[in-house]
Amino acid sequence: MSRASGTSLRLAGKLAIARAAMKLARAWDLPFRERAYRTWYDAISELSELLFSDFRCMNYGYASVAEVPGAESDDPERFQLGLYDFLAALTPLRGKRVLEVGSGRGGGAAHVLHAHGASHVTGLDLSERAVEASRTCFDDAGLRFLSGNAEALPFEDASFDVVFNVESSHGYPNVDAFLEEAHRVLTDDGMLLFADFRHAEEAAATEALVASSRFKIEHQMDITQNVLAALEADDARKRELIDGSSAVPDLIRGSIHHFAGCIGSPMYEDFRCGRRMYFAYALRAS
């Protein structure tokens, strides 16, 4: 076994332990909850660096179901960046102060700055390793990355005009706390652009949580079919990266396919069969 394969197996074991700890902590509100989540995200970031060093963002993507997906761009991550473009179309960003909560590897935050004309963008992530990777990849003026908790944002009231939260909240112990914090750091009339997936049986609870928050719902959309279109159009690229990497041992290859949403994986089938849905909101602070 290669050294990279051994590291992958070690990280896979670390993820399994962290996932079990997260479930216990979430179910019983145990005091090690934040530590378990930080361990999970650090391991995800390290595994991503090992297997997919060129990835700038890790969401499942967005594609129009009415057009040939991806025909308009040669960027290998055009579908992942397309999810940011879709959300950015819901509110003006030019000249705005933007925060991304759950910024991961930093590609989305950088895209919002350069493609949509934000005055400056702050990316915040629970994983210090992800923050370090983002700082290494992007040192642009007007862009910064910090470590912090989505449920206790380290910013003053009314610090931002727009908050992005993309495919991150499904791991939060208390989404209602995040929504309250997002509202606090937004200016009056500021916008939260919120997109993520849920199991079908959790969808109604999430919808009720958003409806009971202090935000006004301006747009509420089910974009599951758009995410499916992106997964299908991006499948060959992902499989080439995963199956062509000597760092991915056969023992965990199926798990990586699932994590990436490859066609035929449990994640892909959940979206296809309606067991999971992917939502998008534009929420105005009021």
Q: What is the dihedral of CA 131, 134, 140, 143, to 10 degrees?
A: -40
208 Cα distance to chain centroid: 21
Per-residue pLDDT of the chain (286 residues; tens, 9 = 90+): 566 677 777 766 766 776 676 667 666 665 666 777 777 677 777 777 766 667 788 899 999 987 655 556 789 999 999 999 999 999 999 999 999 999 999 999 999 999 999 999 999 999 898 899 999 999 899 999 999 999 999 999 999 999 999 999 998 889 999 999 999 999 999 999 999 999 999 999 999 999 999 999 999 999 999 999 999 999 999 999 889 877 777 877 888 898 899 999 999 999 999 999 999 999 999 8
pTM of the model: 0.90
**In angstroms, rounded to a whole number, what is the distance separating the alpha carbons of residues 207 and 175?**
11
3-state secondary structure of 227: helix
Instruction: Identify whether the C-beta of residue 159 lies closer than 8 Å to the C-beta of residue 184.
Output: no
CATH code of 56-286, in short, is 3.40.50.150
Q: Locate the domains of the chain by residue range.
A: 56-286
CA–CA separation, 123 and 41 (whole Å): 15
DSSP three-state, residue 29: coil
Helix (H, G, I), strand (E, B) or coil at 115: helix
